[in-house]
Chain A
Amino acid sequence: MIGSYSLNFGLFFSFFIIFFSINNLKNAENLDKKIISFTFLQFFFVIISFVGLIVSFINSDFSNETVFNHSHTTKPLFYKISGTWGNHEGSLLLWLLVLTLFVFIFLLKSDRQPKNYRIFTLLFQQIIIIGFFVFLIKTSSPFNFIFPVPEEGLGLNPILQDPALAIHPPILYLGYVGSSIIFSSALAAMVSSYVSKEWAKHIKQWVLVSWIFLTLGILLGSVWAYYELGWGGFWFWDPVENVSLMPWFALTTLLHCILVLEKKGILTSWAMVLSIATFALSMSGTFLVRSGILNSVHTFANDPERGLFILIFLFSLIFLSIFIFFFFHKDKEKTENNFFWLSKETSILVNNWFMMYFLSVVLIGTIYPIFLEVLTSNKISVGPPFYNKLILPLLIPFLFAMAIGPKLKWIKSDFQDKLNMLLLLIISFLISALIIKEFDISFLVNTILVSSAFFLFFVTLREFFIKKLKNLSQNVAHFGFSLLILSILLNNIFSTEVITNLKIGETFKSDKFSINFANIVQENGKNFKSIIGKFKVEHEDGSIDALRPELRIYNQPNIVTSEADIKTNFFTDKFITMNYVQNQEYFNIRYQVKPLMIWIWISVLLLSFGGLMSMFKKRYEI
């Protein structure tokens, strides 16, 4: 009740803000304090409505349609709360909440920037906010009534009842919505002719914020996929994963491009295009996932109103930004570029070039099947082999460039310490050749790929010792990236897996280990019953792991989920799941040994930590 009223209030405030802003634009010297209060009030009303929804979820108020559809009285409190954003309506409300919060923070934090630039940013941001308000109120209100009030709700999908997934959407949204600030501010900078080194410096903070949250959000999603989906993978090039990766590529590109802009005042048009693209990708990503277009084109037709609104809103924003880009943006760059082949500028351009390529692979791979089906009604799948074939070969030069690039100087540079670099290259190659050969997987590509990853690894590692804290953040991030690629590659190459059917008491034997299915026990959780299998895995060296995978039978909705048990240490993860085999006393057991899993997570944390350090860095020092 309160929630839906305060949403309408919030919308009214948008118009207030726009009205006052336009007034303020014309005649005042400074930004009107009133505007800041209004943005705060707007945020305040959205938060009331959001809290209202959370309270309905906590109290299991089933007169609310959203609560009825997605909650249940026996659900643990934590998941009642996280259920608030575990559905279409609530997640849109969360988007709106973050939007209004960010615009308020933006106004507070930008007091050293020119007034008109701030106001224009606010105006563009309000256009987005109004779009979301209308979308929310018109097509997906979280506050619809049901009468008569149902006794019990329908419950939340059990695979979403998980700690990582409970905080995954908010973190990801912080990243997505941060990109809306970048978008509005880029448009504002063009309109008020403020595209400059100062702008780059100012917006870099927001780029970093969005980038960090987006990175962490993707991390949480893939950690969840790893232990919850039961097949031991963490990335499947699924369309839903891809849509979060695309803005990440765009943001990473922008992050590097902004550095050049900040230092040299060039690449302005490119930075504008990237800012717009990042936001367009983020928004279409959220909408595509939420509206279900991606899994199949047909879900689109189920809810034409929502889909149509999305399309119209997205296209009008893109149209607006193209219009502003062509009519307001003047490329003030000196046409003469004063840098040489071997320079930091070149290396950043190379980064941008490859990033755009990776982005285009993912983009085309994700949306092409949709277009093909609409146009020719041919259904094709684009899966991991496609991405591996197109991305992996080009990862090699990319990694080399990433190792060498940061060592170069602006404008013109010579290769310094060639000898050491060459040495590291040889070492990397030898190590990789040894590893690959030892395990008898003789792929030339693998060796070269792993060597390039090792090369970057060693170069960045060495930087820690010779540069002495200078430009530490960049090095931490690059080191994290090298660790990520290295762990993923080695993990891919050396994962082993056994799938077998076992009865209680049986033992599976292979030459490396034996798996003994000791017994099963039953336990009761708050809203599920669980069947826990007790397994003993004995290894060659005599060490024994006790693993307890679980089958959970949730009461509402009535779904069986399989919970993996994972033993993690620094070198390998041991991963086991069990599943029913229909109408038999056998259980299907899947046991995997996955090397270096933990380093994949750690490296992504390092990557985002590098970003965080860069945010708090006092001055620019590449």
Chain B
Amino acid sequence: MRLLHIFFIIVLIFNFNLIKADEIETENKIAKNLRCLICQGQSVYDSDSEFALSLKLVISNKISEGMTEEQIYSFLKKKYGEWILYDPVLNKNTYFLWLMPLLIFLVGGAIIIKKFYIRK
């Protein structure tokens, strides 16, 4: 019985560690995708400025409050504007940004095929 107890505790600690590690990983992932607003071209993760440090705290608080990654992004977007997100969201402002390169790729392929491989 006692053995079982210890076993349970070990499992619990082990899992707790895993959860904690997961949280840190998500926190880092989120911080890497955010612009440090007061720095020159650095992410929140890479910066040691006060802004970045406080933002890292905010992120870890939000994670422990149970917010998902997406929710945190949209929370920060509301607070600081889209400028903070390194991964621009797909909306009517960014259709061009996301779709144009793909369109160029398709059109380029089409031109090559038409010009060189379809016999007239």
Contacts and interface: CB of A to CB of B under 8 A. Distances in A.
Interface of A: 229, 231, 233, 236, 238-240, 295, 335, 337, 339, 341, 345-346, 349, 353, 356-357, 360-361, 364-365, 368, 372, 376, 378-386, 389-390, 394, 579, 582, 588, 590
A353 B97 contact: no
B101 A357 contact: yes
A381 B101 contact: no
Contact of A357 (B83, B87, B105): B105
B101 A380 contact: no
Contact of B82 (A335, A346, A356, A378): A378
B6 interface: no
Contact of B97 (A233, A368, A588): A368
Nearest to B56: A499
B71 interface: no
Interface residues of B, number: 36
Interface string B67-87: 000000000000001111111
Given A357-B105, A364-B101, A381 B86 contact: yes
CB-CB nearest 4 A-B residue pairs = A383-B86, A385-B87, A231-B46, A379-B83
A382 B46 contact: no
B35 to A, nearest CB: 5
A394 B83 CA distance: 27
B94 A380 contact: yes
Contacts of A384: 32, 43, 86
B50 A381 contact: no
Residue among B33, B48, B50, B98 having the largest count of chain A Cβ atoms under 10 Å: B48
A582 B53 CA distance: 12
B87 A383 contact: yes
A353 B113 CA distance: 11
Contacts of A238: 41
25 contacts: A229-B42, A233-B46, A236-B41, A239-B41, A335-B120, A341-B117, A346-B116, A353-B108, A360-B104, A360-B105, A364-B100, A365-B97, A372-B93, A378-B82, A378-B93, A379-B83, A380-B88, A380-B94, A381-B82, A381-B83, A381-B86, A382-B97, A384-B43, A386-B86, A386-B88
B4 interface: no
B96 interface: yes
Contact of A349 (B98, B105, B112): B112
Given A383-B86, A579-B48, A588-B48, A376 B42 contact: no
Contacts of A353: 105, 108-109, 112
A69 B72 CA distance: 44
Contacts of B42: 229, 231, 236
Given A361-B101, A379-B81, A385-B86, A582 B96 contact: no
A379 B87 CA distance: 13
B31 to A, nearest CB: 10
Given A364-B101, A384-B32, 10 more contacts: A231-B42, A337-B116, A357-B101, A379-B83, A381-B83, A383-B35, A383-B86, A383-B87, A385-B86, A588-B48
Residue among A349, A380, A582 having the largest count of chain B Cβ atoms under 10 Å: A380
B88 A382 contact: yes
Contacts of A339: 116
Residue among B50, B88, B98, B100 having the largest count of chain A Cβ atoms under 10 Å: B88
Residue among B40, B100, B101, B108 having the largest count of chain A Cβ atoms under 10 Å: B101
Interface in B22-61: 32-33, 35, 40-43, 46-48, 50
Residue among B33, B40, B94 having the largest count of chain A Cβ atoms under 10 Å: B94
Nearest to A376: B93
B16 to A, nearest CB: 16
A394 B108 CA distance: 14
